[in-house]
Structure 1
C-alpha cells in the first residue's frame, strides 16, 4: 500500500484484498486488484494528482460489478485504454484510429 493513501483507502484496500483471497484469487493478483480499485476510486474522487480520462469518466469498479470480467459483451480493453497505450508508445495518427485499428497497431 502506498503511503499517500488515507486511512479510509487503506481500509478499503485491505477489505478488497481479503475479499479477493476469500474468492480463491492468488495473493499477488488480489493485491493488484485491490490497488487498481483503490487508485481508480481515488482518481474519480479527485484525490490523485494525475488520472487518465478512462479512469475518471468510466464507471466505478463497485458499480461496474464485473461487467467486463466475463462472458458477455465486447472483450478486451476499451478504445480509450488502447488509445492511452498508443499515446505512451508515441504511435502517430492514433487519434483518428478506431478501436480495431488501435488493437491491430498495438498487437492486441
Structure 2
C-alpha cells in the first residue's frame, strides 16, 4: 500500500480517523497535522489497514495441540537438567572423546576454577582429579 492510500482500511477505521481529525482541528491544529495524527492514532489502536491474523490464528486445532505437546515435552526435559535437543552426556571414563565445549560445561558444573584458560588436556586432567 503506497503512502496516503486508505483503501485497505475498514469503514470503521475511516470514520474513527475522521472523528479524531475533527477533534484535533477543533483544537486549532492545522489540517495536515490533524490528519496525520488521526491516522497515526488509528494505526496505533488497530494495527493499520490490512487485517492480519494474530498469534496462532492460522494454525489448525491439531497443529496447536501438537505444538503444546512439544512445548510440554521440552519443558519436562529442561526441568530434568538437559536440553531436549542435546544427546545425554557421556560417562566420565570417556573424557578423551568429549569436545572442549563439553569438557568446559562439565568443569563449570563441578566448579573447577581457572577452566576458561585451560587447554583440552588440562580440562581432562582437572575433571579426573575432581
Give the TM-score category using the shorter length.
0.3 to 0.5
Query: Highest CA radius of gyration, 1 or 2?
Result: 2
Report the TM-score when normalising by structure 1. Answer: 0.40
Report the TM-score when normalising by structure 2. Answer: 0.33
